Chain A
Amino acid sequence: MKTNIILYSCVLSLASLLMTACSDLEDIKPNDPPTPVTAEGGVFILCEGNFNSGNSTLSYYDPVTKKVENGVFRRANDRKLGDTGQSIAIYGNTAYIAMENSGIVWGISTDDFKVKGQLTASSDTKIINPRYVHKVSDTKAYVTDLYAHYINIFNPQTFKYIGSISVEGAANLGYCSTEEMVQFGKYVFTNCWSYSNKILVIDTELDKVTETITLTSWQPKSMKLDKNGKLWVITDGGYTTAETSYGDNVPHLYRIDAATRKIELDQALTTDEANVQIAMNRNADTLYIINNDIYRMGINDKKMPVQPFINAPVDSNGKRHKLYGIGVDPHNNEVYVADAVDYRQAGAVYRFSSQGVLIDNFKVGITPNHFAFSDENAKNIPNENEDENENENEDEKMARALVSKIFEYMPAPGHQVNGYTVVGDFIHDGATMEEACDSVMSHFKHQFMVSLGAQGGYLVAGFDHNVLNSNGDYDLAIKGNPYSYQSEPGIVWVMKDENGNGLPDDTWYELAGSEYGTENETLDYAITYYKPTEPFADIRWTDNQGGEGIVPYMKSWNAHESYWQDWVPAEMTPEGLCRTYYGSRLKDTHTYTNGYTMEPPFDWGYADNDGKDYFKNDNFYKKGAMAYFKISNAVTKEGKPANLDYINFVKVQTGQTGCSPNLGEISTEVHGIWSLTPLRGKDEK
């Protein structure tokens, strides 16, 4: 019996041993070491992970190779980054990463991601939950904190703790949270977020809070300093719930003079569920703001533009992506935007050119929230003497000046609209108006051609800033594709956003050109196009002057079965489906001789017209000519000067009804519309 007992015991023990042979933790072995940083530098993306999970990670993106490497901290150091990564800042070749819920600030090499030092929330410091790091000098750096009533000071080279600055009273209800920091001279400013409406001013020589700036709304969340020494601060507005209230949910944007501490601008924003954040470009003269979409704003603008610079991505099913973080590469002003998806999986990062054109998108860690760029702080120090645009390249210049949104794309029938393949299959069959407008905007960002179709066809575009009337100087530029023998002039209209709702629903004023008021231009003109009932057919038109004609079907130009656009609203009449365009008409001046068509330009004042205002402007766009326009030429319906101080919207409309046998209908083409306001003072003409 005893033998049996021993036997059974052995069997049991063996079974249990076999069952436990492979136990392990999560995969603790680091993967391959990350690739060292490239000489040109790259993008460090801090992913905060999930609270209380310790799965914060650091990703590195090489903009040249478009290669992304995730989890580089763990891979380089065989340890976890920590819990709830809050921020990353790069000074020289050291990146300082504040890990909020781990109570540690890492210093890592930007060359190989290896740990160079660390500062922890040990008993000999006053750190609790570190939020941001700001390097004051080579021997002194500040760390803000969510819970501590102090800003902690350490040596950024040795990571030795130095001391602390009391921020008692910075906020209410027992909290003294301090957040981002910017430095102006010897003063460091920090915004106090939780239950606060204050900006603290710290004298770095005394390491002491010397002044406080009080805002009109609650919870300043993000702050940057521009080249003119102005603080830009955005609040989230606090919150109002059914049970309690601390603020009103309305974010505000402030501009504060860092020298006088005076609030110079206070704009209430229009959304309440926004992850409000500010980023600044290389020259510290342009703000990028997340407020559901991405807005771009010049530091001299009086208010945040109504039109986004980059719309939050929207899926085909209408789902709008919630943006979580933003960064602007100081080397080239490219914009990086984070999408946290569901906060429990790999987040996505979108990389846009300085013009807002999507360049790349890639997956990183969980909940990407903060970007840093190699040696960004060395390049981003505001310099009073630096020419604001001195280092700006052509593309950046153009991006800042381009219209930010297309509101309507209403081409009249034409062979360069439906399925026209010269610049790609422009608008697909069954497109919606919104999709058509997005396509136009995308074309403009690449300076691709957009045809307005036959007479009356138009598009309406808006700027993200006020385009100022320079009273005699050129204010707008529109690129077309005229040749000396072929112009297809379009009439330009402008509108001021008088009711301030951001929509082109106020009064249009025509920019009078050389033909305005002469017999060559017919005002109050209306033209109606009739949808053909058969495919591959001409499209008939009539006008309110008793005229009629066709837009010919020209298979040799475009074999699409119809030149009628379904996204353009139309109405049913006894004569069938039709649509009518209103505006002004320019006289048809084309000639057709021996197989050649001549379409001479008018003198000046029209888009896609090789007039004397179509030229190269070396201070704006050196690569080619554009037509330039003056807001001071705007006229009322009665023909009187409109005297607009600025405008926000532009409409370009095909002006002529002509049609030649070999080229078909005359249709204005547009490659982009730009404002000269951001570049004021730099134009030659």
Chain B
Amino acid sequence: MARLWISFTALILSLSIAAQDTHRPIELDNVQVVAARRLKDVGVEKTSIDTLILHDNVSLSMADILSKNSTLFIKSYGRATESTAEFRGTSPSHTQVTWNGMKVNSPMLGTVDFSTIPSYFIDETNLYHGASSINITGGGLGGAVEMLTKPITEEGLHGQYVQGIGSFNTYDQFVRLTYHKKHWSSSTRVVYSTSDNKYTYTNYDKKTDVYDNQGNVIKSYHPKEKNKSGYFDDVHALQEVYYNTGNGNRIGLNVWYSHSKRGLPFLSVDYKDDADFKNEQKSNTLRNVLSWQSIHEDWTLNAKGGYIYNEMMYDYFTTRQDATNSITKSRSYTNTAFASVNADWNISERMLFTTGASAYYNHVKSSDMSPFHIGDNFNKGRCDTEVNAQIRWRPIDVLSLAAVLREEMHGEKIIAPIPAVFADVILYKPLNLVLKASVAKNYRYPSMDDLYFQPGGNKDLLPERGFTYDTGVEFGIKKRMWMLKGNVTAFDSYIKDWILWTPNTKGFWEPSNVKKVHNYGIEATANGELMLAKDLKITASANYAWTPSKNMGEEVNANDESYGKQLCYVPKVSANCNVKMMWKTWTAGCQWSHYSERFTTTSNEVSYITGKLKPYYMTDVSIEKVFHVKKIEFSVKGIVNNVLNTEYVTVLSHPMPGRNYEVIFKVKV
């Protein structure tokens, strides 16, 4: 590692010499800081993450991006392990996720593993907090994540290659070819990431005893151990083709294939040898969206069709001869067909009507083999349909109102209507100070696992239902040398009939509607830019969330002390801050993130040593140099993650890596 660090330093120094004669324009971003909000965004609490951030680091997944650039809580076991996102202390299944307008939540689990989505494959991400998610989909009791890819606008044939080399034998390769001319545009992206991921950590959960000849312990120490079975080998390919007729019509096709092979890291308290045992998950996923967009002066029409295939294979097996090779395994095969149509009608400058409908047919076949069950878990198909109508109205310049109504049908069951109303009031125009408010009722229908998984599935589950109230202010100021914008939102939400899986006395798990959860709190974001000189700019963004998320459900029995307590693993406070300084062709960055303590028991027991995870503060720094040779842009970026070598865990008994390094080379033609 020392050798890598020296090489990296030398590289930066040499490039600094080369940078003397290369320049790039540095100016304030052309961000929109105006009070006249789009009618479509009336009352909406939305966080946007743009391409610059998404394409900052080839080794990042969407889980990393969301963790470091939003108030979402990402529960992760480390790189390339299952990572789910939670809004406002809700559960991962309360986060609805779309990719180019198609829901990608697993119909089986109801969740999305963001670690399987490379950030380089996404061009824009919008986070809809709380009630605002109803603008794009139902079921997002916590919120919704909208991931979009964008058609190429740069004319001609272009290429980009990115090579990342990191600690723990980690290699990330990215290649992109784009072509755009008149009506046609095409983009091909491929990411290939591999790693042994065998980082070293001090295992405080174990202790090595040294004995003397009489068998007395003469010395004990916490051993240094390698992360076992953390390897990954992921490949993704995304092909996009768009045809623009030139008269407002555009047809697009997005095809995304991914293959993943990942070891599931051993616990820090596992005494088995990873040479003898493999705990591995493999998946193959194909996502396709065919879209037609027709844009006219007063109306817009979008029609989409899509298909998702996913197969997941989990195996725990041994290479030893003393057991059946396959100890446990599970298989699931999911096929989803999707169609939607949406229309916007600008009735007047002050009124917009939107309507749409979508249908998903999901078929899941799931089976497993374990000491508890062997055979099919279920083999079911279900059609989920949805219609919506939305009206937005600006009666006077300073006031905008919106109402959204959704109706969903899952299989043969129609759930109650999902309504939401939104309002915007401009309070003080010089500061672009806007007051926003919304209220919504939302439902999430149980996943197919919840209903059908055998043993345990519960066909009598009710949909989870939530009420959310949001209110907040946002502001934006832009001057010649600086810009500042931000917002603060307070929310209050109740979720009833929360679906929770608990073990029964026979050894397997069963879901039931048991919990009532009260989430409330404050979310705040701020973005600023400051031009210090002609070629020197500092940008900063910060997110902060205070999210008490309390179980208010009925006690299991008189011994249950979870009432009124913070939900497991949900931090009350999360915050992050990104600061970048750009000088000519140099960019230096510092990313800082923080999670407050997280409880591991429903009763928030603190007398246990394992009862809570201590707060942690994570700091990453980077420096990048861009230089040009004719029309070719080169860049070299060095990153030090966890620069202060903080020892931390995000989940019990899963230590995270200490200080580690990456070097990223980019070539763009």
Contacts and interface: CB of A to CB of B under 8 A. Distances in A.
Interface stretch (B40-48, B170-178, B322-330, B629-637): B322-330
Interface string B442-459: 000000000000110000
Contacts of A572: none
Contact of A120 (B204, B271, B649): B271
Nearest to A77: B207
Contact of A54 (B205, B277, B579, B647): B205
A481 interface: no
Of listed A24, A82, A342, residue having the most chain B CB within 10 A: A342
B311 interface: no
A244 B318 contact: no
Interface string B177-195: 0000000000000000000
B376 interface: yes
Given A19-B594, A122-B273, A344-B602, A80 B206 contact: yes
A83 B644 contact: no
Nearest to B273: A123
Interface in B491-548: 502-506, 532-533, 536, 538
A5 B536 CA distance: 9
B612 A23 contact: no
A546 to B, nearest CB: 52
A674 interface: no
A173 B374 contact: yes
A146 B568 CA distance: 29
Contacts of A621: none
Nearest to A312: B557
B374 A244 contact: yes
A24 B371 contact: no
Interface string A66-77: 000011001101
Nearest to A271: B505
B609 A74 contact: yes
B375 interface: yes
Nearest to A193: B371
A193 B532 CA distance: 72
Contacts of B643: 16, 20
Contacts of B613: 25-26
A297 B136 CA distance: 62
Given A8-B538, A26-B612, A339 B557 contact: yes
Contacts of B609: 26-28, 30-31, 71, 74-75
Of listed B322, B503, B615, B616, residue having the most chain A CB within 10 A: B322
B652 A17 contact: no
B581 A8 contact: yes
B132 interface: no
Contact of B557 (A49, A243, A319): A319
Contact of A174 (B271, B369, B376): B369
A285 B50 CA distance: 74
A17 B271 contact: no
Contacts of A177: 371
B455 A239 contact: yes
A345 to B, nearest CB: 4
B505 A275 contact: yes
A601 B275 CA distance: 84
A242 B457 CA distance: 10
Interface in B651-665: 651-653, 655
A412 interface: no
A103 B274 CA distance: 12
A664 to B, nearest CB: 39
Contact of B502 (A53, A243, A275, A343): A343
B207 A150 contact: no
A627 interface: no
B536 A345 contact: no
Interface in B584-600: 588, 590, 592, 594, 600
Contact of A103 (B207, B270, B568, B618): B270
Interface in A368-388: none
A637 B324 CA distance: 67
A175 B324 contact: yes
A120 B277 CA distance: 14
Contacts of A173: 369, 374
A57 B608 contact: yes
A400 interface: no
A99 B269 CA distance: 10
Contacts of A244: 373-376, 454
Interface stretch (B51-59, B416-424, B476-484, B559-567): B559-567
A284 interface: no
B579 A12 contact: yes
Interface string B345-358: 00000000000000
A28 B201 CA distance: 14
A128 B323 contact: yes
A102 B324 contact: no
A566 interface: no
A243 B376 contact: yes
B613 to A, nearest CB: 5
Q: How large is the interface on A (under 10, 10 to 19, 20 to 34, 35 or more residues)?
A: 35 or more
A16 B590 contact: yes
Contacts of B603: 344-346
Contacts of B505: 273-275, 322-324
Given A19-B594, A20-B619, A79 B646 contact: no
A342 B562 contact: yes
Given A54-B268, A121-B272, A366-B601, A273 B504 contact: yes
Contacts of A121: 271-273
A147 interface: yes
A642 to B, nearest CB: 41
A8 B590 CA distance: 12
Contact of A343 (B327, B503, B621): B503
A184 B271 CA distance: 33
B256 interface: no
Contacts of A82: 269, 271
A271 to B, nearest CB: 10
B271 A104 contact: yes
Nearest to B560: A341
A122 B271 contact: yes
B231 interface: no
Nearest to B608: A71
B371 A194 contact: yes
B649 A23 contact: no
A149 B324 contact: yes
A303 interface: no
Contacts of B277: 128
Contact of A53 (B556, B621, B652): B652
Interface string B333-370: 00000000000000000000000000000000000010
Nearest to A322: B505
Contact of B323 (A8, A149, A324): A149
Contacts of A8: 532, 538, 581
B374 A20 contact: no
Given A78-B207, A103-B272, A115-B209, A24 B648 contact: yes
A24 B327 contact: no
B641 to A, nearest CB: 12
A549 B660 CA distance: 95
B373 A26 contact: no
A648 interface: no
Contacts of B590: 12-13, 15-16
B69 to A, nearest CB: 16
B378 interface: yes
B199 interface: no
Given A19-B577, A342-B602, A365-B608, 16 more contacts: A19-B592, A20-B619, A20-B646, A83-B267, A103-B271, A120-B272, A147-B371, A150-B322, A194-B372, A243-B376, A321-B558, A339-B557, A339-B559, A342-B562, A344-B568, A344-B601
20 contacts: A15-B579, A16-B590, A20-B617, A20-B618, A22-B617, A23-B615, A79-B206, A101-B270, A122-B273, A123-B275, A173-B374, A236-B506, A243-B378, A244-B376, A275-B505, A315-B557, A322-B504, A342-B602, A343-B503, A345-B602
